[in-house]
Chain A
Amino acid sequence: MQYSEKVIEHFENPKNIGELDENDPRVGTGMIGSPACGDVMKLQIQVEDGIIVDVKFKTYGCGSAIASSSYATELIKGKAIEEALKVSNKDIAEELDLPPIKLHCSVLAGQAIAAAVQNYKEKNNITA
């Protein structure tokens, strides 16, 4: 697969790799995908006063899955959680210039953000 330079850059130097403490109430965790499909993204956010102050990820998957999650963490860091939810898979796909067959990687990254936010909200009894 021939990738854009941006995918290769994120793949070779991924941003925000790691883990946050799942038991911390300020932390929301989202895990999306399955080993059967060849992609699993785990994305964690740490929220203070409604703002995402820290993000970490780990991804099992192809180069574009790793790059998509790396870029997603960059996009949402420092954003309010409601703003983070507005990040679309299109934003990710366009920035990374993903080939059509890899668009699902950007969809997964979007879903991982949503899952992490939802988990944070559930932990903190935030509705809406």
Chain B
Amino acid sequence: MSVELPIYFDYAATTPVDERVAKKMCNCLTREGIYGNPGSHTHRFGWWAAELVDKARKQVAELINAEPKEIIFTSGATEANNLAIKGVALKYKNKGRHIITSKVEHKAVIEPCKYLQEQGFDVTFLDPEPDGTIALDKLEAAIRDDTILISLMHVNNELGSINDIAAFGKLAHECKIIFHVDAAQSAGKLPIDVRALHVDLMSFSGHKVYGPKGIGALFINKDSKLNLVPQMHGGRQERGFRSGTMATHQIVGMGEAFAIAKEELAKESARLAELRRSFWDKIKDIDAIKLNGSLEHGAPHILNVSFGFIEGESIIMALKDIAVSTGSACSSDTLELSYVLTAIGAQNEMAHGSIRFSFGRYTTVEEIDYAAKLIREKVAQLRSLSPLWDMYKQGVDLETISWKGDH
């Protein structure tokens, strides 16, 4: 079987909409379809749309063992995170002003927390372990009498490392602290049972699970009896937690995507884990290569690899037929090295050459084989250009050199 180029290995950034999903979405747009406002209670157009939204809410809930009424649709996981974090902080600020999160969270968690810092909240950003996970004892040690919220991710988007959410949740509840989890990367990849995980709030994204962009959801545990300060005010849709006309086609798309994810999760996760392992097996003997995160305990779809002594953006350019992402400073608009790799203590000459490969529903064995071969070739080529590689081969310790032209 031939390989179609370019190859998409960036499923952790986004996924294509599944055709089955797109079909359902298209049915909610035009005059022939269900175009009514789900909030219109006075006629059938509205009722039909509301029916579809109800179904989608149930589909999202079923993937995570929640009840439909516990699902609030938002514009994406970013908004869900903002609603959870700012909504809790502003509601419960009189009980305490301390929040715990980590240094390797997604920006959609870190930035709301920084915003709250400016508003007078005290935020602890926990250091990760070298594999990118958060240690339970460090979390426990950070808890104070005035801690009102813990927000930690399920799966790290750069490394694929998996946190022990159930243990964190149990601890949080013993200490009567609200527990929020960003599950944008784990939904559809790992089984999620919100009851067993003891979470109060959990954020989801549609487009990471073969649904459309521009839609996400926040799970709000009914047993936690939480109140949140809404971040969007208006017509009091979504039980007042999130105003704004419900986007029927987006919601239907997310619902269908989550239903398919539930259907295929066990089989698909096993297949992805196998592809990931096979890919690593084909490249792991490259000299000065390092897997960031954990092979055994990582999410099935993400593999973060450092190629020592070559720079990430140059690797991406050399691999132009493979769509991947990098934590390299040179590819970003800010020239800052990935804060996640920095937080796990990666050395410069390794961190700058890190690439995130992420696989998905349409990844084939042939693509894995083709990419592995190309990578071996291109890494060797770039190393033949690298003065650092020469020094490494000559046994020079790069730490001992006094570098000129630091900028």
**A→B interface (CB under 8 Å):** 1, 3, 8, 11, 14, 17, 19, 31-42, 58-63, 65-66, 101, 104, 108, 111, 115
Contacts and interface: CB of A to CB of B under 8 A. Distances in A.
Contacts of B312: 62
B405 A42 contact: no
A21 B24 CA distance: 67
A108 B405 contact: yes
A19 B387 CA distance: 9
A-B pairs with lowest CB-CB distance, top 8: A34-B403, A62-B330, A62-B313, A42-B387, A58-B387, A32-B405, A35-B349, A63-B317
B352 A59 contact: no
B390 interface: yes
B171 interface: no
Given A34-B405, A35-B398, A62-B330, A17 B313 contact: no
A122 to B, nearest CB: 14
Contacts of A63: 313-314, 317
8 contacts: A11-B318, A33-B405, A34-B404, A34-B406, A35-B348, A58-B385, A62-B328, A65-B311
B227 interface: no
Contacts of B389: 60
Contacts of B403: 33-36, 40
Interface stretch (B59-67, B175-183, B331-339): B331-339
Given A35-B348, A35-B349, A101-B333, A11 B407 contact: no
Size bracket of the B interface: 20 to 34
A111 to B, nearest CB: 6
Contacts of B388: 35, 40, 60
A17 B384 contact: yes
Contacts of A33: 403-405, 407
B310 interface: yes
B259 to A, nearest CB: 38
B378 to A, nearest CB: 11
B407 A37 contact: yes
B292 to A, nearest CB: 17
A16 to B, nearest CB: 11
A101 B406 CA distance: 16
A37 B384 CA distance: 20
Nearest to A19: B390
Interface in B386-407: 386-390, 398, 403-407
Name the residue in B311, B314, B352, B405 with the highest tally of chain A Cβ atoms < 10 Å from its Cβ.
B405
A42 B309 CA distance: 14
Name the residue in B317, B352, B389 with the highest tally of chain A Cβ atoms < 10 Å from its Cβ.
B317
Interface in B286-317: 309-314, 317
A60 B337 contact: no
Contacts of A34: 403-406
B407 A60 contact: no
A92 B347 CA distance: 31
Contacts of B387: 31, 40-42, 58-60
B329 interface: yes
A61 B406 contact: no
Given A1-B330, A33-B405, A37-B407, 19 more contacts: A11-B317, A14-B385, A31-B404, A33-B407, A35-B349, A37-B329, A38-B337, A38-B348, A38-B352, A40-B388, A60-B311, A60-B349, A60-B386, A60-B387, A62-B312, A62-B317, A63-B317, A101-B335, A108-B405
A10 to B, nearest CB: 11
